[in-house]
Amino acid sequence: MEPTAAVRFSRNSFVRNKERLQEIARWVFFSMAILMIVPLVTIIGYLVCHAAPSLNWEFLVEVPKRGMREGGIWPALVGTIYLVFISLAIAAPIGVLAAIYLNEYAKDNWLNRLINLAVINLAGVPSIVHALFGLGAFVYAARLGYSVISASLTLAIMTLPVIIASTREALSSVPMPFREACWNVGATRWQTIKAVVLPNSISGILTGVILQVSRAAGETAPIMFTGAVFYKAVKRGDFFPYQLTDQCMALSMHLYTVTTQVPDVKESISYATAVVLLGVVLMVNASAIGLRIWMRNRKKW
């Protein structure tokens, strides 16, 4: 006797096993996500709790006092902002243009394969090696001295590989029919890149920039060798305390200094400095992520 439709499509043991495995997989992946979030929340909570006694507005806009045992972090905060934005202003255009050439113009020959290999290897070079390169190339060879511009150029060299790699991936994600449609109506290669490829890959390009903001803000060795200084006298609340040829303070260097070189400093000052550094990185990242989401929502595909 032929089974009815209800019998044919009922849940049997095979289907129930599949559903059980799917539910287990869902909870395993959810647990992995929670395991990633919990340490982050724990670290931030721990830092904020220990930083609370010193974390206030005066701490942000005041200059260090009594050999950095008191006061605030204004010179280091401004110096970090200088280094991050100058280095990105140098690295981002160069990295994006290099990626455009490698993805849109370069032919598959030994020279371009060598360039790709160099970019990949450069991304894995330790920061201390970049610091020594910056010391030799910018401080001594270019005679820029220990300065903001030397430290920014060193950070720019360090951040270039990831920007190039992420930009190439973003450009490659744009479907080839988009380019072919432009070429078929008589557009040049550059017109196609400018009007179609870049607008549809800008969110991916910003991803590479976001990844490098944290690294540029948190690195100590490259700026220690090329431009960061133990202490720099500036006025409270001065937004332009440094010139490009001056040495500057930076939050990462300041944090290292107050935790290892300054005796009898309040514990909360070190933790407050770490929280501010983390906050600067999160604010810049949040702004870039918001811009990326806005641009992604404008996509037509």
Q: What is the rounded CA–CA span in Å between residue 121 and residue 133?
A: 15
Least reliable range by pLDDT among 26-30, 198-202, 275-279, 282-286 = 282-286
DSSP state of 145: -
Q: pLDDT tier at 299 (50, 70, 90 boundaries)?
A: low
Q: Which residues pair with 64 in a beta bridge?
A: 71
Q: Are 60 and 77 in contact (CB under 8 A)?
A: yes
pLDDT digits (tens, 9 = 90+) for 135-175: 999 999 999 989 999 999 999 999 888 889 888 888 888 88
Q: What's the CA dihedral at 199, 155, 277, 93 to 10 degrees?
A: -20
What is the average pLDDT value for the chain, to the nearest integer? 85
Q: What mean pLDDT is predicted for residues 62-80?
A: 86
Q: Are 278 and 242 in contact (CB under 8 A)?
A: no
Strands (E), the chain: 64-65, 70-71
Q: Please give the backbone phi and psi of residue 65, each rounded to the nearest 5 degrees, phi first.
A: -135, 160
Q: What is the rounded CA–CA span in Å between residue 177 and residue 169?
A: 17
Q: What mean pLDDT is predicted for residues 61-66?
A: 85
Report whether pLDDT(1) > 60.
no
With vertex at residue 8, the alpha carbon angle to CA 5 and CA 13, rounded to the nearest 5 degrees, is 150
The number of residues making up the chain comes to 301
Per-residue confidence (pLDDT) for residue 3, from 0 to 100: 55
Report CA 38 to chain centroid distance, whole Å: 22
**In a 3-state reduction of DSSP, which class is residue 115?**
helix
Per-residue confidence (pLDDT) for residue 208, from 0 to 100: 77
DSSP 86-106: HHHHHHHHHHHHHHHIIIII-
Q: Look at the block and give the residue holding tokens 């300041």.
A: 254
Report whether pLDDT(301) > 60.
no
Amino acid identity of 209? Answer: V
Distances (CA, A) of 175 to 96, 167, 170, 200: 19, 15, 11, 10
Report whether pLDDT(90) > 80.
yes
From the number of C-beta atoms within 10 Å of its C-beta (0-12, 13-18, 19+), residue 185 rates as exposed
Per-residue confidence (pLDDT) for residue 9, from 0 to 100: 58
Structure tokens at 175: 């479907």
Q: pLDDT tier at 2 (50, 70, 90 boundaries)?
A: low
Q: What is the rounded CA–CA span in Å between residue 285 and residue 280?
A: 9
Per-residue confidence (pLDDT) for residue 7, from 0 to 100: 54
Q: What mean pLDDT is predicted for residues 173-183?
A: 85
Q: pLDDT tier at 121 (50, 70, 90 boundaries)?
A: confident
Per-domain residue ranges of the chain: 57-64+71-297
Report whether pLDDT(109) > 90.
no
Q: What mean pLDDT is predicted for residues 88-100?
A: 90
pLDDT digits (tens, 9 = 90+) for 19-61: 888 889 999 999 998 988 898 889 889 999 988 888 888 888 8
Q: What mean pLDDT is predicted for residues 63-72?
A: 83
**In a 3-state reduction of DSSP, which class is residue 65?**
strand
The span from the first CA to the last CA of the chain, in angstroms, equals: 52
Per-residue confidence (pLDDT) for residue 153, from 0 to 100: 93
Q: Does domain 57-64+71-297 have CATH number 1.10.3720.10?
A: yes
Taking Cα atoms as reference points, which of 286, 289, 259, 253 lies closest to residue 271? Answer: 259
Per-residue confidence (pLDDT) for residue 215, from 0 to 100: 78
Q: What mean pLDDT is predicted for residues 236-254?
A: 87
Q: What is the rounded CA–CA span in Å between residue 286 and residue 173?
A: 24
